[in-house]
Amino acid sequence: MAFSPDVLDAVDRVAAERGIEAAALRAVVEIESGGRATSDVDGRPMPLILYEYHVFHRWPALSAANRAEAVRQRLAAARWGDIPYPSSQSERYALLRRAAAIDEQAAHAACSWGVGQVLGENAEWLGFGTPRRLAERAMEGVEGQLAVMLAFIERRGLLAKLAAHDWRGFTRVYNGPGQVEAYSGKIAAAYRRHAGREAVELDPRAPRLDMKGGP
């Protein structure tokens, strides 16, 4: 699967505005997103999300009654992996809508958003205020998704590693120590392709990176 030219143009435009090497940002976005920036949901291009049941469950402002109701509806679980993820984006957005009917902020906090797959629960830490506002920014096209992703990269102090092409160091912080070997090589290979401006074709068997946690 290849990025469309308009997505690549958006990445390059944002990279130029931020003083980031375009090929480096392209590489990270490619591997993180799996080559997709949006999905058609009810006739609208929407950022890709992953609804995390355990994140909804742990939302600190969630009332005990709402937590119990979410558990009853299989919208919340105490542990990761207790409830399977639906495969389609339409199903994931349906979960978000149902969860938002119980607690809007907890529902948006429980989703990882866009090409950077940044968890909504990071919203205040990243300067977006609330999870709903982070989600709204991600819904503002590819540029909005990149704004959320770069807020996470900057907050984690990763711009220098990106500029230095320290893919192992970048991956260790961005995705956690358990995924360094699996993904740093993929990012390095993607960077070489983008730096050479070769056509980018993704291996459809390649796994996506996990959601991004907070501090």
The burial of 43, by beta-carbon neighbours within 10 Å (0-12 exposed, 13-18 middle, 19 or more buried), is given as: exposed
Q: Is residue 103 part of a domain?
A: yes
Q: Is residue 81 part of a domain?
A: yes
Q: State the residue range of the domain holding 73.
A: 44-138
Rounded Cα–Cα distance for residues 112 and 108 (Å): 8
Q: Is residue 20 part of a domain?
A: no
The predicted-structure confidence for 33-61, as pLDDT tens digits, reads as follows 988 999 999 999 999 999 999 999 999 99
Whole-prediction pTM: 0.89
- Confidence band, pLDDT 50/70/90 cuts, at residue 203: very low
Packing angle, helices 131-138 and 141-155, rounded to 10: 130
Q: Is residue 29 part of a domain?
A: no
Torsion of CA 207, 93, 97, 69, to 10 degrees: -40
Q: Is residue 25 part of a domain?
A: no
Write down the pLDDT at residue 176.
87
Rounded Cα–Cα distance for residues 62 and 76 (Å): 11
Q: Mean pLDDT throughout 132-149? A: 97
Looking at per-residue pLDDT, the higher value among 121 and 201 belongs to 121
Look over the chain and give the mean of its residue pLDDT values, rounded to a whole number.
91
Q: Give per-residue burial for 98-116: e unless 16+ CB within 10 Å, then b.
A: ebbebbebbbbbbbbbbbb
What is the domain count for the chain? 1
Q: Is residue 64 part of a domain?
A: yes
Q: Is residue 30 part of a domain?
A: no
The predicted-structure confidence for 81-118, as pLDDT tens digits, reads as follows 999 999 999 999 999 999 999 999 999 999 999 999 99
Q: Mean pLDDT throughout 146-159? A: 98
Q: Is residue 26 part of a domain?
A: no
